[in-house]
Structure 1
Amino acid sequence: MMFMMLVAVVFPLVLDRPLHKIGTQKLKAMGMNRFNYDREPVLTAGGLILVCSSAITGIVLIGFLLLRGAKSELLLHGFLFLTGMITMAFWGWRDDRASDRDAKGFRGHFGVLWRERRMTSGMWKLIGGTSMAFCLSFSLSNSLWAGIVSFGLLALSPNIINLFDLRPARAIKVFWGLTAIAGAFGIWTIGAGTAMANWIFLMPIFVASMLMFPHDAGGKIMLGDTGANALGFAVGFSLVIGTPIYVQASMLVLFLCLQVTAEFCSFSHVIEQVGWLRRLDQWGRATEAENKKNQTGSSGLV
């Protein structure tokens, strides 16, 4: 188990530099530039790099587990995680590539469907992600109630992370916090050994998010829906396979409350009004002056 965990940590570290170089070149060539909250052009869909790193590492891990004759449950978890993460990232990528980005939130997408009889990219993402969550949830659960809760978590968690992807590195910080909660409850309730086994396939995306953090926080690249959806799915998956049903149900209620609140309230405004949240949100982020200095320096004007 320790060897597998070592692979899960080392592979993303080895893959980071070449994937980041190739990924940024491809994204630039495809014109994946968007304006951020400060109206500065930033490369988006950088989460594609994170997803590729995690997927490659996950395939290697499955290969090692097959060679070592690992138990079928662990292999099933690995297969389901990779399937769900890649599928969610695909729908996010489709949304990142789309031009119809005016509709926001569930009300916005359903409103366009009702008024214009037109499917937005966000609506396609909603249908595709929900369908995937439904298919996976009952494969991970042994009862109807557990399946319903799992479905809710897997369907909602990608959108929850996406709700926070409005400032540099904010989504990554929320991802870290939620996975830390899942990991702590897992160690407390099911033991460190079982929790470590559950984290074999989650560790690569966690390490990849740490490697992505300085690029995102520095305002150089955005996760986009591609990365936010993948991180969100990892949150839901970690809760489903690693925590008791009462923790899952509690987190589902929290996610539902956040989703409803987001339809009527700006999280960015709330964070700005609360001192400790504002400091946490700004931690690691390049200041506006540093961003301008970096942009000036890179343009050759200094």
Structure 2
Amino acid sequence: MWRRSRALGTGVLLAGAALRGVLASPWAAGLRRTNFRGRTVTLAAGPALAAGAAVGGALGAPSRPAGAAALVAGLSCGAVGLYDDVVGARPEQKTAKGFAGHLAALRQGRVTSGIVKIAGVGAAGLAAAALLAADPTVRAHPGRRRPYRRAGRRQARSGPVAGTLDVLLGAGVIAGTANLVNLLDLRPGRALKAGLLLGAPLLPGPTGGLAAGPVGAAAALLPADLDERVMLGDSGANALGALLGVALAARTGPVGRAGALAVIAALTAASEKVSFTQVIQNTRGLRELDALGRRHS
């Protein structure tokens, strides 16, 4: 309990302090953007969330390898997301849209900021999943909420193929969740609300501290996001999703990870065909939740 409380408090306090620090920095002017309603907002919330959520998650982790996984996932995804936020705003970068557009540009010999982000998020997910796999105390026995300390011996008996598959599934969950939260960052507060809803069920149990850091940071920045003073951008949305992916991967085995990855993949594929914003607007309950707390003028 104390570990979760420490992580939650750190996420809240550090995200707020980091936001003030970014706003006071010399490069704050370069983070100003125009949102969907034509208002001038700042992307400063992105690096602020990445810092607060990653450090909070690391402090709440049940072990050093799990804490390292949180730092790697949160800070790396936040950094490459910030790179895409800044470099991707340049005119020559705007021609590539979506995953297919970035791949097409790569085939033409152009390395876009989006490709850098995709590669960086994937590498961070793989590194974080490998750190989790190296720590038997973070793996949960199916159906229980306490660490399963013999998981390392079980994995050793299952062979390197099963261990590699587990790492790849974990990497897919971490990177996929990072991308999925980013897909929701189209309206004020939407990605943060999704992060809170996803993070809350991950708080119980020995790995709950990993989720407490990002939950605290998201809660701290939500009022400013809803008021359209800040926005997460790729930096904050990718970091939030990646850290929640770490928390999810840490409490599930191969079957759970495979199931989570299937859901993430299905939602990601659906986003290529339908507009999440349109679905939310046409669905009672989702529409009210999405608009809750948001300014109307």
TM-score (norm 1): 0.80
Which residue of the partner structure matches residue 283 of structure 1? Answer: 292
Which residue of the partner structure matches residue 217 of structure 2? Answer: 208
Distance in 1 (CA, whole Å) between partners of 2:122 and 2:237 is: 16
Asked if residue 260 in structure 1 is aligned to residue 269 in structure 2, the reply is yes
Residues 48-80 of structure 1: per-residue CA shift (max 9 Å, x gap): 112222345466x38xx9xxxxxxx71110111
Which residue of the partner structure matches residue 117 of structure 2? Answer: 125
Following superposition, the deviation at residue 11 of structure 1 comes to 3.0
Q: Write out aligned runs for 1:163-174 (5 A).
A: 163-174=183-194
Which residue of the partner structure matches residue 108 of structure 1? Answer: 101
Tell me the SS of whatever aligns to 1:39. coil
Distance in 1 (CA, whole Å) between partners of 2:26 and 2:276 is: 29
Following superposition, the deviation at residue 5 of structure 1 comes to 3.1
Q: Do the aligned partners of residues 135 and 50 (structure 1) sit closer, same or farther apart at CA in structure 2, a change above 3 Å counting?
A: closer
Following superposition, the deviation at residue 27 of structure 1 comes to 7.3
Structure 1 residue runs of 5 or longer lacking an equivalent are 66-72, 188-194, 290-302
Q: Do the aligned partners of residues 274 and 78 (structure 1) sit closer, same or farther apart at CA in structure 2, a change above 3 Å counting?
A: same
Aligned Cα root-mean-square deviation (Å)? 2.3
Q: Write out aligned runs for 1:176-215 (5 A).
A: 176-183=196-203, 187=204, 195=205, 197-215=206-224
Which residue of the partner structure matches residue 299 of structure 1? Answer: none
Overall identity of the aligned pairs, in %: 29
Preserved contact between residue 16 and residue 220 of structure 2 (Cα < 8 Å): no
Letter in 1 for 2:131: S
Q: Do the aligned partners of residues 27 and 126 (structure 1) sit closer, same or farther apart at CA in structure 2, a change above 3 Å counting?
A: farther
Distance in 1 (CA, whole Å) between partners of 2:131 and 2:18 is: 32
Q: Do the aligned partners of residues 3 and 137 (structure 1) sit closer, same or farther apart at CA in structure 2, a change above 3 Å counting?
A: closer
Which residue of the partner structure matches residue 35 of structure 2? Answer: 36
Following superposition, the deviation at residue 129 of structure 1 comes to 1.5
Count of residues in Structure 1 that have an aligned counterpart in Structure 2? 265
Distance in 2 (CA, whole Å) between partners of 1:147 and 1:251 is: 14
Letter in 2 for 1:284: G
Asked if residue 137 in structure 1 is aligned to residue 129 in structure 2, the reply is yes
Tell me the SS of whatever aligns to 2:20. helix
Q: Write out aligned runs for 1:1-302 (5 A).
A: 2-26=1-25, 29-57=28-56, 61=59, 74-98=63-87, 99=90, 100-114=93-107, 116-141=108-133, 142=155, 143-183=163-203, 187=204, 195=205, 197-287=206-296, 289=297
Following superposition, the deviation at residue 181 of structure 1 comes to 4.1
Residue range with higher mean Cα deviation, 46-55 or 23-32: 23-32
Letter in 1 for 2:116: W
Preserved contact between residue 107 and residue 263 of structure 1 (Cα < 8 Å): no
Distance in 1 (CA, whole Å) between partners of 2:281 and 2:13 is: 37
Residues 4-50 of structure 1: per-residue CA shift (max 9 Å, x gap): 33322333444454433222232763421112112222112412112
Runs of 4+ with >4 A deviation: 55-59
Which residue of the partner structure matches residue 150 of structure 2? Answer: none
Letter in 2 for 1:120: T
Distance in 2 (CA, whole Å) between partners of 1:27 and 1:237 is: 33
Following superposition, the deviation at residue 144 of structure 1 comes to 3.0
Distance in 1 (CA, whole Å) between partners of 2:56 and 2:71 is: 10
Letter in 2 for 1:125: K
Tell me the SS of whatever aligns to 2:33. strand
Tell me the SS of whatever aligns to 2:125. helix
Tell me the SS of whatever aligns to 2:261. helix
Tell me the SS of whatever aligns to 1:42. strand
Preserved contact between residue 28 and residue 43 of structure 1 (Cα < 8 Å): no
Residues 141-175 of structure 1: per-residue CA shift (max 9 Å, x gap): 34233222112112211110000000001111111
Residues 257-276 of structure 1: per-residue CA shift (max 9 Å, x gap): 11112222211111111122
